[in-house]
């Protein structure tokens, strides 16, 4: 379970969605939230369950996972400090549409669903912000599905690393080849070859589960055209 951080340790990093709220409204909303530490590979929710909490990442980021019996899992979307986990609450349902796994450990704001629903009903600014984000997330999901079908593993890996890099505060990721394979829905051997080529060209450094991004510009050159940087 996520570990609650004491209120005395409030972070300097902001969630972009919450940052766009009027200051007084943001302060009132965060007074009802918990600051939590999310751990790598932690499952936050499962399909067809009911959301118990909604998350606004700060330094953590979260993978949205699709699964089909007899097939490896496939990551359909990433949620970092630009967004939230549980935006479908806008559709007046608490039903979880996809599994959510912590891809990058770090901090997030956590709201109990009833608390957030009440805040949503009282605010004139929160729902419009979330509607824009839900549209952007749907675009990401659509692009990821097309990318998984048409593009080569190395280009998809480069894109995934760029998307992850956009959502973390350092150049270092903690992951295994198998975890990357699960995220991209490919065999582990395919990741080994693709990551080995990126490392041989000095673009990344991978050792014992730690992956350092050394050359972002070269990673951009290796990525497919599906990559789009986060907008402010």
The answer, as to whether pTM is greater than 0.85, is: yes
The pair of structure tokens assigned to 230 is 């986060």
Q: Of 96, 124, 147, which closes a domain? A: 147
The answer on 80 and 11 residing in a single domain is: yes
The answer on 96 and 196 residing in a single domain is: no
CATH of the domain at 213: 1.10.10.10
- What pLDDT is stored for residue 78 in this prediction? 94
Q: Can you give the residue range of the structural domain that contains 61? A: 3-147
Q: What is the mean pLDDT of residues 1-23?
A: 83
The answer on 103 and 206 residing in a single domain is: no
How many distinct structural domains can be found in the chain? 2
Task: For residue 228, tell me if it sits in a domain.
Answer: no
φ and ψ at 70, to 5 degrees?
A: 85, 0
Q: Spell out where the chain has E strands.
A: 3-4, 34-38, 43-45, 53-57, 61-66, 74-79, 99-104, 106-112, 172-174, 204-207, 210-213
Over residues 163-217, the pLDDT tens digits come to: 999 988 788 888 888 888 888 888 999 999 999 999 999 999 998 888 999 999 9
Question: Is pLDDT at 24 greater than 80 in this prediction?
Answer: yes
Task: Give the 3-state secondary structure of 103-169.
Answer: EECEEEEEEEHHHHHHHHHHCCCHHHHHHHHHHHHHHHHHHHHHHHHHCCHHHHHHHHHHHHHHCCC
The answer on 167 and 185 residing in a single domain is: yes
- What pLDDT is stored for residue 8 in this prediction? 63
Helix, coil or strand: residue 68: coil
- What pLDDT is stored for residue 171 in this prediction? 87
The answer on 183 and 119 residing in a single domain is: no
CATH of the domain at 98: 2.60.120.10
């Amino acid at each position: 379970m996520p570990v609650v951080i004491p209120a005395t340790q409030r972070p300097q990093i902001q969630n972009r969605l919450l940052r766009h709220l009027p200051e007084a409204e943001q302060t009132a909303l965060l007074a009802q939230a918990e600051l939590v530490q999310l751990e790598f590979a932690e499952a936050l929710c499962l399909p067809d369950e009911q959301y118990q909490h909604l998350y606004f990442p700060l330094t953590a980021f979260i993978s949205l996972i699709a699964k089909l019996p007899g097939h490896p899992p496939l990551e359909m979307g990433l949620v970092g400090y630009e967004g939230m986990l549980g935006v479908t609450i806008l559709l007046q349902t608490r039903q979880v549409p996809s599994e959510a796994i912590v891809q990058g450990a770090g901090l997030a704001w956590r709201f109990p669903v009833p608390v957030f629903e009440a805040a949503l009903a009282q605010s004139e600014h929160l729902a419009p912000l979330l509607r824009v984000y839900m549209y952007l997330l749907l675009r990401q999901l659509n692009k990821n599905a097309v990318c998984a079908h048409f593009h080569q593993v190395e280009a998809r890996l480069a894109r995934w690393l760029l998307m992850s890099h956009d959502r973390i505060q350092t150049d270092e990721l903690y992951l295994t080849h198998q975890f990357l394979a699960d995220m991209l829905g490919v065999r582990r051997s395919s990741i080994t070859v693709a990551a080995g080529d990126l490392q041989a060209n000095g673009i990344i450094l991978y050792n014992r589960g730690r992956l350092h991004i050394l050359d972002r510009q070269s990673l951009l050159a290796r990525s497919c055209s599906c990559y789009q940087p986060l907008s402010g």
